[in-house]
Amino acid sequence: MRKTRTIVTGVALAAAFSLAACTGGSGASSTSSASSSAGGTTEISFQTWSLKNDRFTPYFEQLVKDFEAENPDIKVKWIDQPGDGYEDKILQQANSGELPDVLNLPPGFAYKLADTGLLVDLDKVEGAKVSEYVDSAAKAYQFPNIEGHYGYPWYLGTDLNWYNVGKMKEVGVDTSKLPTTLDELFSMASNVAKASNGEVKMISSVPDIGTFSAAGIDIYKDGKFVFNTDEAAKIIDQFQKAYKDGAMPAEALNADYQGNAALYKQGKSTWTTGSAGFASALKADAPSLIDQTEVTPRIGHAPVFIQG
């Protein structure tokens, strides 16, 4: 999967660089950061979101080097922004007219910029390669009441279940059949708490819109939120019972809650959701958990994570 991601990333960024070369920068001249030197060389800015690290830096540096070798009249300035506060940074750049020519955006961020005319409509760009991408992924960068496509989907991912079966076995819980439904998940969570006298917690997430969506509950219909249903209330009750049973760590309800993946790596819970890349995070941050972790498909309707 890592190899596939790298290939898809390369295709998307090469296409994006080519787009910048064809258009001379971003769609709105007031926000383009592309500049030309006296010698006719154009510099374009390329912004990623927390990808300058040991894993990705060599890849992007080589990608930029290869592109510049093929296009000697273009220089690429790679900018990497930290993970925290990225949306605020994008809005700041937009407001000050300093948006990079090519930038990493999830659909929600892209929609705001497309709605104000700050992104290129790829359908109007000669040589754009939107049709070469998975159709449903490309549609993530089409927005209500706005014609056109406003991004190349360069990354797709989804959630999996990750269980610390080693820790659960230590307290005598049978892990030969891992949960495939929410009812089974909460039942196992209560069993783990009882078997360990509350010492071992299993649930460390709190219910949100994604929880309801994964359970097949309608969220929005005909201009109204419609998730206030008996089915959704049952899920809330299950989380409440899990907390009362001692199956959830107190940190899950704190204002500085770091997420279920962080608590899993800290050994404070025995279940989390995460993409395939979570294996790399475990190897780096909690290698002792790798051998006692088992992975299963996400319960219910698995979400799709996308970047463009």
87-98, pLDDT tens digit by residue? 999 999 999 999
| Per-residue pLDDT, 78 | 97
pTM, two decimals, is: 0.69
**CATH T-level fold of 2-155:** D-Maltodextrin-Binding Protein; domain 2 (3.40.190)
> What are the boundaries of each domain within the chain?
2-155, 159-307
In this predicted structure, what is the pLDDT of residue 304? 84
Mean pLDDT to the nearest integer, 133-148: 92
Q: Residues 246-260: what's their mean pLDDT?
A: 88
Would you say residue 260 has pLDDT above 80? Answer: yes
Q: What is the pLDDT of residues 209-219, one digit of tens each?
A: 889 999 999 99
Average pLDDT over every residue of 160-183:
96
Under 8 Å between Cβ of 20 and 44: yes
Buried b (16+ CB within 10 A) or exposed e, 133-170: beeebbebbbbeeeebbbbbbbbbbebbbbbbbebbee
Q: Which of 213, 252, 206, 248 is nearest to 232 (CA)?
A: 213
- CATH tag for 159-307 (out of 3.40.50.300, 3.30.2010.10, 1.10.10.60, 3.40.190.10): 3.40.190.10
Facing residues of 305 across strands? 157
Q: Same CATH topology for 2-155 and 159-307?
A: yes
Chain length of the chain: 308
